Structure 1
Amino acid sequence: MNYLNIIIPFVGGLGMFIYGMQIMAQGLENAAGNKMKSLLEVLTKNKLMGVLLGAAITAVIQSSSATTVMVVGFVNAGIMNLTQAMGVIMGANVGTTVTGWLVSSVEWAKFLSPTTLAPIAVMLGVIIMLTGKRRSSKEIASIVVGFGLLFIGITSMSSAVAPLQESEGFRSIFVTLGNNPLLGILAGALVTAIIQSSSASVGILQSLAAAGLVPFSAAIYIIMGQNIGTCITAILSSLGAKKNAKTAALMHLLFNIIGTIIFSVIAIVYFEVLHPEAGVGIITQTEISIVHTAFNIGTTVLLFPVSSWIIKLAKKIGRVEEDTQDKSKVLLDDRILETPSIALQSTVREVARMGEIVKDSLDVAKTVLFTLKDEDIQFLKEEETTVDKLSAGITDYAIKLSSLQISEKEHQDLAHLLQMVSDIERISDYCENISEFAETLYEKKVAFSEIGSSQLREMLDVCIDSYKYALEAFEEKSREKALKVIEKETQADNLEITLRSRHIKRLTNNQCNAEAGIVFLDTLVCLERISDHARNIAEEVLESVA
């Protein structure tokens, strides 16, 4: 038997299978982009919602490894805690079974026969790709072409290994794997760890099953091993991450190991004691899908009530506690870039968090000129340093995101976000300026006159309200609040002219201290510019929701 004639078509088929799976997943992800963004909001919900989220995202991107890598990224960025991560990890194991059902559909849906349907799907996808001008057409084309290539790949693998039916040595290998659970589990784990895709590993097993080479018991143990092998990607991804991110990867490994141990014991009892004859029968592709799905759902249902214990065990083994969050650290992680639509939504959340920090600064700036408290002055300076770090980090991340394959609309959204980051950062600068003005008043032991204080408070109210409306407009995508900002900004412009004129008259009439008067005028300039930047944010919102 010429094994080279088997290996080359098999490897080529595997490559086509993986490539087809990737471009189909990319098309699905792009088509579901907005929905995937909204799925991110589920992260704030309970663990059960996390399971559903993990299953949904994995079903779209067709890779539990990719989902878990994203989870490690979320935990490392501080967006997700370990309890939420546990739910998503459990769901990812369920969502990854989708590919197996696509492959096995050639058995339970005869009209999907790859020999006839796959070439038609590829040709149809290419026609749509060449003739379609809309973005949605390109996404549909990717899904259809990927679907066709996936089936061509699995057909190529199955045809390549068909001659091995005559090889007693190859058959004996699978018999050995079926008789020795540990070897079967190790074989599944090793192959999956090497190719770093449980979906592709299951596809390989199904191609061997199509050739009638895999006994039932061997398939069971190999499938369990595949679930362990798929953890290698997240573990490698967690290297260099924070301790609690490494804990998330360890949770994934523990979850799959515990599930494998439980169901291996059940399988051993069944095949060795209750029904020994069941293990020697040849498994079909559909039966592999059933076993794979039952195993992952069963493990999730069984371990869901005790998932908090798994978290504790992972933390104990890793000797870590969840890190305290430094608010100046950008809560974005390069691992999330694997799914650009979610990375974009994470960036939106981070810009909003930066905006809330500046809102808190403005609340302090509103009173610091009158109280002159040193702790408030120092707070504003520290917050400005925090905002500078966030601005730089968000900008760097957005640039990385813009270099990926994202839609024109997402490029526009990124451009709006970058402009908003710049405006928010400038407002923070003005808050620091106000703290310096307060410092000047304190050092020179001067204060505003009663009428000056009253007028300044009026200006503060208008300008700070304009920013708060702008932030709410951004967070809620509200046209009404964005238009309210424009009203406030116009009011601030008029008020600044009026108050400046009145103040100059008071200075001329010696009705207020000259040094305090200079601070008054400088503060008016800062506040008017704050309202200008708030208007810029509002206009970005109006453009993005148009």
Structure 2
Amino acid sequence: NIGTIMVGFAILMYGMDNMSAAVKPLADVPEFGNILMAFSNPLMGVLAGTLITAIIQSSSASVGILQALCTTGSVTYGLAIPIIMGQNIGTCITAIMSSVGANKNAKRAAAIHLYFNLIGTVVCLALFYGVNAFVHFDFLTEAVGPANIAVIHSIFNVFTTLLLLPFGDQLVKLAHATVGNHKKSGELQELEVPVLDERFLERPAFACEQAMEATKQMAELTREGFSMSVSLFDNFDEKKVARIRELEDIVDKYEDSVSSYLVKLSSRNLSDSDSRALSMMLHCIGDFERISDHSVSVMAAAEELHTKKIHFSEMGQQELEVFKKAVMEIVGLAFDSFVNDDLTTAQEVEPLEEVMDYINSQVKKRHVERLQKGNCTIEMGFILSDICTNFERVADHCSNIAVYLIQRHESEYDPHAYADVLRREDNKEFQQECDKYRRKYVLP
């Protein structure tokens, strides 16, 4: 690495030396002097520096060119200073181009970069030429050297940083005003799907980390939607209904974005650990998306109860309350284990899922008994069956998530075989965990 750095500097210095030697003859060319005179106007100098830097997309290269031209002795301070200011504006083109196709925050970052240099240039030029109007700096007509170019460039950036550092919040507000949310009146705020930059694919380990962060965001949005749908049974709210539908759409977008990215990443040279993580994410995003779908189904059941102004019997309500608490706990365990990569929490999911299968069958069985006694209606039975089925399937997906997480750290990746081993009768630890949850979630 040290050798590479030294070779890089050697090539840089060699290139600068060659460039300086190439432009030296220009000092004797009258036309060259005439061109430079055209940029004696400060505004033209700023424009020239901006355009040249934007075209070659490198302020370092454009500064190097200016330093090379200084060896002719024809470039004065008065000519160089505005060009240097323009070079700082032109370098923003790189950030602006990188933000194309990126999310709003990336565009705002590019906007802050642009505003930083624009404001710095305006303030510096205004102060400099304002003072010059009274003091009349004599050095403006003197030839500037390469080292002086570097000093001016550094002074500009240090001064601008000190000037704008206290106004960071104002720059953020300005960027938000420039790159707004474009939200229509009365429309719920849209959460952005992170754009996973394909340039990161050249660094598979980093790309895998970015994909994991996006998947964790997807998990949290899914959890929010499901928790909100279950809460509708106790407190129905039309705003929550709209939010649940919105979250389901966003989770779908996450699935499309992340899965496409992971497929592209899978063809790269991944470490064994990253390969396992990728496989886990591909499985889990499907489970998150399905849980989000079940959130909408649960919401629809709650909406039907509210619209028709019907409710379960007292015993049915108590049984459903036990089921709700169990499903919320398993969702919490599965999602916490995934987000925090917590194997201990993940191992608690499967025993609870086993108990929830039992709760599901018992709740349905008890409803049939009440139906036979005339204590309930067929219509309520359909709604209860939908709710129970959705809860049970959510539990299944939570089980998948936990098992995928555990198996990611195992030597062999076979989730189904792992689940079968857990459920063996001689697995006393698993049976003890199941007993714990049976005692916790006892139907009335």
Do both share a fold (TM > 0.5)?
yes
Opposite residue 160 of structure 2, the aligned amino acid is: T
Cα 1:223–1:234 shift into 2, 3 Å: same
Q: Matched residues in 2 for 1:202 and 1:248: separation?
A: 24
Unmatched runs of 5 consecutive residues or more in structure 1: 1-23, 25-116, 122-143
Aligned partners of 1:228 and 1:253 also within 8 Å: yes
In 2: Cα distance, 1:377 partner to 1:228 partner: 47
Structure 2 residue identity aligned to 1:282: G
Of structures 1 and 2, the one with the larger relative CO (CA 8 A, separation 6+) is 1
Q: Give the alignment of 1:279-294 within 5 angstroms.
A: 279-284=142-147, 288-294=149-155
Corresponding position of 1:363: 227
The alpha-carbon deviation at position 426 of structure 1 amounts to: 0.6
CA contact (8 A) 1:485 1:534 kept: yes
The TM-score with structure 1 as length reference comes to: 0.58
| 1:4-83 mapped onto 2 (5 Å cutoff) | none
Report the CA distance shift for 1:152/1:364 in structure 2 as closer, same or farther (over 3 A). closer
More deviation, 256-265/526-535: 256-265
- Checking the alignment, whether the CA contact within 8 Å between 2:19 and 2:68 is kept in structure 1 is no
Superposition map of 1:145-224 within 5 A: 148-149=7-8, 151-169=10-28, 172=33, 176=37, 181-205=42-66, 219-224=80-85
Shift of 1:296: 1.2
Q: Distance in 1 between matches of 2:70 and 2:273?
A: 44
Q: Distance in 1 between matches of 2:11 and 2:362?
A: 75
TM-superposed deviation, 1:233: 3.8
CA-CA distance at 1:156 after TM superposition: 3.2
CA RMSD of aligned residues (A): 4.6
1:331 aligned onto 2:193: yes
User: Aligned runs of 1:268-287 on 2, under 5 Å?
Assistant: 273-274=136-137, 276=139, 279-284=142-147
Distance 1:392 1:364 in 2: 23
Give the 3-state SS of the residue equivalent to 1:280 in structure 2: coil
Contact conserved, 1:329 with 1:390, CA < 8 A, in 2? no
Q: 1:446 and 1:277 mapped to 2: Cα distance?
A: 86
Q: Deviations over 1:287-309 (max 9, x none)?
A: 54444333212211112234555
Aligned to 1:495: 359
- Distance, in Å, in 1 between the alignment partners of 2:156 and 2:384 is 71
Deviates more, 1:198-207 or 1:342-351: 342-351
Task: State the percentage of identical aligned residues.
Answer: 32
Q: 1:445 to 1:322 in 2, by over 3 A?
A: closer
Q: Among 279, 302, 327, which residue is 1:463 paired with?
A: 327
Secondary structure, aligned partner of 1:360? helix
Q: What's the CA shift for 1:197?
A: 1.9
1:427 Cα deviation (Å)?
0.9
Q: CA deviation at 1:464?
A: 1.7
Amino acid in structure 2 at the alignment position of 1:523: I
Q: Distance in 2 between matches of 1:158 and 1:542?
A: 59
Query: Structure 2: any 5+ residue segments left out of the alignment?
Result: 411-444
d(CA) in 2 for partners of 1:330, 1:517 = 39
Residue equivalent to 2:340: 476
Cα 1:188–1:261 change in 2 (3 A) is same
Residue 194 of structure 1: how far off its partner (Å): 0.6
The code of the aligned residue for 2:146 comes to I
User: For 1:316-373, what per-residue CA distance to the aligned partner results, in whole angstroms no more than 9, with x for missing partners?
Assistant: 8x6x755448555533246x54456777666545444443343333334335457777
Which position in structure 1 is the counterpart of 2:393?
A: 529
When residues 437 and 219 of structure 1 are mapped into structure 2, their CA distance, relative to the original with a 3 A threshold, is same
Alignment map for 1:207-246 (pairs within 5 Å):
219-235=80-96
Please give the per-residue CA displacement for 1:204-227, whole angstroms capped at 9, x wherever unaligned. Answer: 445666898866665544332210
Larger radius of gyration: 2
**Which letter does structure 2 place at the counterpart of 1:256?**
N
Question: The residue matched to 2:193 in structure 1 has which SS?
Answer: coil
Do 1:500 and 1:521's aligned partners in 2 also have CA atoms closer than 8 Å?
A: yes
Instruction: Kindly indicate whether the alpha-carbon contact (under 8 Å) linking 1:212 and 1:283 is maintained by their aligned counterparts in 2.
Output: no
d(CA) in 2 for partners of 1:408 and 1:206? 49
* Equivalent residue runs for 1:69-468 within 5 Å: 121=3, 144=4, 148-149=7-8, 151-169=10-28, 172=33, 176=37, 181-205=42-66, 219-235=80-96, 249-264=110-125, 273-274=136-137, 276=139, 279-284=142-147, 288-307=149-168, 323-324=182-183, 327-333=189-195, 336-339=197-200, 347-368=211-232, 380-381=244-245, 383-396=247-260, 398-399=262-263, 412-438=276-302, 447-468=311-332
Shift of 1:158: 2.2
Q: Quick one: structure 1 residues 221 and 369, their matched pair in 2 at CA, closer, same or farther if it must change by over 3 Å?
A: closer
Q: Deviations over 1:420-453 (max 9, x none)?
A: 2211111122222233444665688764333232
- 1:275–1:371 CA distance, 2 compared to 1 (3 A): closer
Deviates more, 1:157-166 or 1:268-277: 268-277
The structural deviation recorded for 1:195 is 1.1
Q: For residues 371 and 298 of structure 2, what CA distance do their matches in structure 1 show?
A: 21
Amino acid at match of 1:424: F
How many residues in Structure 1 have an aligned counterpart in Structure 2? 400
Stretch of structure 1 that moved more, 208-217 or 353-362? 208-217
In 2, the alpha carbon distance for the partners of 1:417 and 1:400 equals 13
Distance 1:250 1:377, change over 3 A: closer
CA contact (8 A) 1:216 1:278 kept: yes
Task: Give 1:256 shift.
Answer: 1.3
Residue identity opposite 1:226 in structure 2: Q
Q: Does the aligned pair in 2 maintain the 1:178–1:219 contact within 8 Å?
A: no
SS in 1 for 2:348: helix
Structure 2 distance, partners of 1:399, 1:202, is 42
**Alpha-carbon deviation of 1:157?**
4.5
Q: Conserved in 1, the CA contact under 8 Å of 2:188 and 2:243?
A: no
Maintained 8 Å contact 2:39/2:79: yes
Q: How many Å separate the matches in 2 of 1:407 and 1:273?
A: 64
Normalising by structure 2, we get a TM-score of 0.69
Q: Alpha carbons of 1:328 and 1:474: their partners in 2 closer, same or farther (altered >3 Å)?
A: farther
Q: Which residue of 1 aligns with 2:431?
A: none
- Which amino acid counterpart does residue 261 of structure 1 have in structure 2? V
Change in Cα spacing, 1:440 to 1:226, as seen in structure 2 (3 Å) is: closer
Contact persistence 2:225–2:247 (CA under 8 A): yes
On the 8 A contact 2:74/2:143 being kept in 1, the answer is no
